Structure 1
Amino acid sequence: MDQTQKLNAPIRQHIFLIVAGILLLLLAAAAGFDWQISQTIGNMNDPFATLFQDVGLWTAPLIIMISCNIVCHYAMRSAQLAWYIRILMIVGSVIYAGWELWAGYLKYAMTMVITSINDINAGKPMGMANSDGSKLALPGATSLILFIVLYIAVFAGSQYWLSHKSDEQLHYLLKVAVVATLVCIMSDQIVNAMKTFWGRFRPYELNGNPAHFTSWFHPNGANGHMSFPSGHTQTAATILTLTWFVDRDKPKRQRLVFWLTFAYGALMAYTRVRILAHFTGDVTMSLILTWSLILIMAAVAQLPLVNWEALTAQAKSKKLDTQPAS
């Protein structure tokens, strides 16, 4: 490790220790006060939390769609690959991107929006929509039009962005695409498996009656209830991987994207507790699981989220430039 890396090690460690400390404190607090926190801040008629619930799951699908476009662009540009490999990469990435948009996001979002509108018209709380164990049906031609518009927008935007990348940058992005997609898939599988096994009642399902309330550390087995951990929070937290897609020679932009995406995951966690869809322990565990997985993959694949070394070097250079000459 060179001197610059040694100087930056404390920065990374401080961020990790502060965030880990906060999350562990929240988890400890949730063990004793989950019910009280939920009853204090919960409001199923919060329009902001409802908006996040209905349309806020765009993060993982967007990451996967961008990754698919990277694979597609790499195949189109890489003449050294066998023609059949290139065709497989292009066709596979185009289909997977479409499937992720259609089944991974649009079907859910449109169904939830329509359900919320129907609930409002029926005098029910706007945030009570829930897809646990249900089969979502994508309604109307409007959804098909939205699918086409969104798919073209992401495809055109991604291909324009990638057309300005060098071969070296594109090769790096291909690695990022594989790792980021793996994070999205693995975190989703882990959380969904735990949801089924834990069988925890959602706050609104209890309707103010703690008779069936259990702490987050108490699994109930598969019973159709899926509060722990939070799937919305897990999906939102994966947007932190977007930092990997930022050019490595732009550390300030990396840092900006890092904190913005970090904040989005935390904000989604709050809205899930606010709308009585989850307890504090549910969302905290999702953040721990997803962010830990990202850190592990970053270390294994040698893909730091932020080039702290470059930021420190820039700061030192700026400081030297502003010092008066002796």
Structure 2
Amino acid sequence: MSTQAKSPLLRNFLIAAVVLLIVASFGDYQISKTIMNQNSIFGTIFQNYGLFPENLIGFIAGQIIVANGLKRDIPVISKVLLVAGGLAFAFWETLHAVDNFLFYTYSSIGNVKVGAALGAANNDGGAVAYPHSLQIVISVIIWVIGSAIAYQWLKNKTEKSLQYLTTVAIAGVAVVYLSEAIVDTMKNNWGRFRPYEIFGNVKDAHFTAFWHQNGVNGHKSFPSGHTMAGMLAAFLPFFVERKNVALQRKMTIVTIAYGVLMGLSRIRIGAHFLSDVTVSGTIVFALIFLSMQLLGYRFVEESDALAVDALEDNAFQANYDFAKI
């Protein structure tokens, strides 16, 4: 398939982002002041339980590594290392996902006990105590069930399909870590106060436009970390078989919509301004789109079966050539 085909999805996404940033340039402050509600159920649900896409990508990647270890004709020691390493990586991602939702869940429980807003949370590193034994138990349960599901999904994959998924898994992990590095670096250096700090009369909190850098001061509104995690869901369509165009299309719509809803939830709960979520979502979407286009893949492939076969052959040949090095 030609990678030169028109890509209206990226173009339309960037146009929407530019329009939203123009609106944010004039309305960031007033929009947040008007719709912010830290008792929002919508905002709290996404805050507490919506971060999982970034860990799900890593979990799936780990399971694909396991499948390679089980199915490849390689030395036993290599098989053992691949299976053990893949399972360990998947468990590590599960631990992080569970840590996130327990942190925010216990924060919400604490808020209710003291009469604070349900969704009030120290998004910049506050300590919340929860039983770490609970984290381990929940993580093990999710890991075991998820591993069993992944095994059923991967056990009958052809060698070419598994090679394709391996390429996607490596790209997915790279996109996640690059997204985190960019967003976290910007957050630390921008020093933008969050809406709930400004409207909550936090000492010295003041509004600054999104293009204004305050420097390192411990405040991390710009860009949005939650929106980054939510928009990473848009990578998931690439785990769909390239011949299943209908499912690719559905997954693309659902996952992009999820990222958008995450951004809206962050504005609603007062954790971020419109510009915070727009820039974050745009960074992640562009990274996903461009990295996969470099590999020759699109969110929704052409329905030409021969073209799709060529894509899988390219992935197979790339992995075969790498194996000979």
Deviations 1:302-324 (A, max 9, x none): 2222113449x9xxxxxxxxxxx
Return the alpha-carbon distance in structure 2 between the equivalents of residues 135 and 83 of structure 1.
Answer: 44
Q: Does 1:128 align with 2:120?
A: yes
Q: Does 1:206 align with 2:198?
A: yes
Contact 1:251 1:306 in 2 (8 A): yes
Return the alpha-carbon distance in structure 1 between the equivalents of residues 114 and 126 of structure 2.
Answer: 21
Return the alpha-carbon distance in structure 1 between the equivalents of residues 269 and 220 of structure 2.
Answer: 15
Give the equivalent residue in structure 2 for 1:95: 88
Give the equivalent residue in structure 2 for 1:265: 259
Give the equivalent residue in structure 2 for 1:316: none
* Greater Cα shift, 284-293 or 104-113: 104-113
Give the equivalent residue in structure 2 for 1:85: 78
Give the equivalent residue in structure 1 for 2:322: none
Give the equivalent residue in structure 1 for 2:221: 227
Q: Which amino acid aligns with 1:118?
A: G
Contact 2:43 2:268 in 1 (8 A): yes
Q: Does 1:181 align with 2:153?
A: no
Return the alpha-carbon distance in structure 2 between the equivalents of residues 115 and 167 of structure 1.
Answer: 46
Return the alpha-carbon distance in structure 2 between the equivalents of residues 66 and 275 of structure 1.
Answer: 30
Return the alpha-carbon distance in structure 2 between the equivalents of residues 26 and 50 of structure 1.
Answer: 24
Give the equivalent residue in structure 2 for 1:195: 187
Q: Which amino acid aligns with 1:214?
A: T
User: What is the number of equivalent residue pairs in this alignment?
Assistant: 304
Contact 1:108 1:136 in 2 (8 A): no
Percent same amino acid among aligned pairs? 35
Deviations 1:279-302 (A, max 9, x none): 001000001100010111011122
Give the equivalent residue in structure 1 for 2:46: 52
Return the alpha-carbon distance in structure 1 between the equivalents of residues 68 and 181 of structure 2.
Answer: 28
How far has the Cα of 1:243 moved from its partner? 0.4
With the length of structure 2 as denominator, give the TM-score of the two structures. 0.88
Distance 1:169 1:108, change over 3 A: same
Contact 2:223 2:276 in 1 (8 A): yes
How far has the Cα of 1:245 moved from its partner? 0.6
Give the equivalent residue in structure 1 for 2:161: 169
Distance 1:50 1:213, change over 3 A: same
Q: Which amino acid aligns with 2:119?
A: G
RMSD: 2.0
Contact 1:110 1:139 in 2 (8 A): no
Q: Which amino acid aligns with 1:117?
A: I
Return the alpha-carbon distance in structure 2 between the equivalents of residues 89 and 300 of structure 1.
Answer: 27
Give the equivalent residue in structure 2 for 1:238: 232
Contact 1:229 1:285 in 2 (8 A): yes
Pairs within 5 Å for 1:1-326: 9-10=5-6, 12-13=7-8, 15-79=9-73, 81-102=74-95, 104-135=96-127, 138-207=130-199, 212-310=206-304
Q: Which amino acid aligns with 1:261?
A: T
Return the alpha-carbon distance in structure 1 between the equivalents of residues 66 and 128 of structure 2.
Answer: 30
**For 1:212, what is the secondary structure of its paired residue?**
coil
Distance 1:208 1:30, change over 3 A: farther
Q: Which amino acid aligns with 1:91?
A: A
Return the alpha-carbon distance in structure 2 between the equivalents of residues 137 and 186 of structure 1.
Answer: 30
Contact 1:107 1:138 in 2 (8 A): no
Contact 1:133 1:224 in 2 (8 A): no
How far has the Cα of 1:135 moved from its partner? 4.9
Gaps of 5+ in 2: 308-325
Q: Which amino acid aligns with 2:89?
A: Y
Return the alpha-carbon distance in structure 2 between the equivalents of residues 161 and 82 of structure 1.
Answer: 24
Give the equivalent residue in structure 2 for 1:323: none
Contact 2:107 2:128 in 1 (8 A): no
How far has the Cα of 1:251 moved from its partner? 0.1
How far has the Cα of 1:98 moved from its partner? 1.1
Distance 1:239 1:223, change over 3 A: same
**For 1:308, what is the secondary structure of its paired residue?**
coil
Q: Which amino acid aligns with 1:296?
A: L
Gaps of 5+ in 1: 314-326
Give the equivalent residue in structure 2 for 1:320: none
Contact 2:106 2:129 in 1 (8 A): no
Contact 1:60 1:236 in 2 (8 A): yes
* Greater Cα shift, 290-299 or 90-99: 90-99
Contact 1:60 1:238 in 2 (8 A): yes
**For 1:125, what is the secondary structure of its paired residue?**
coil
How far has the Cα of 1:137 moved from its partner? 5.0
Return the alpha-carbon distance in structure 2 between the equivalents of residues 310 and 38 of structure 1.
Answer: 46
Return the alpha-carbon distance in structure 1 between the equivalents of residues 129 and 90 of structure 2.
Answer: 19
Return the alpha-carbon distance in structure 2 between the equivalents of residues 265 and 289 of structure 1.
Answer: 12
Q: Which amino acid aligns with 2:142?
A: L
Q: Which amino acid aligns with 1:16?
A: L
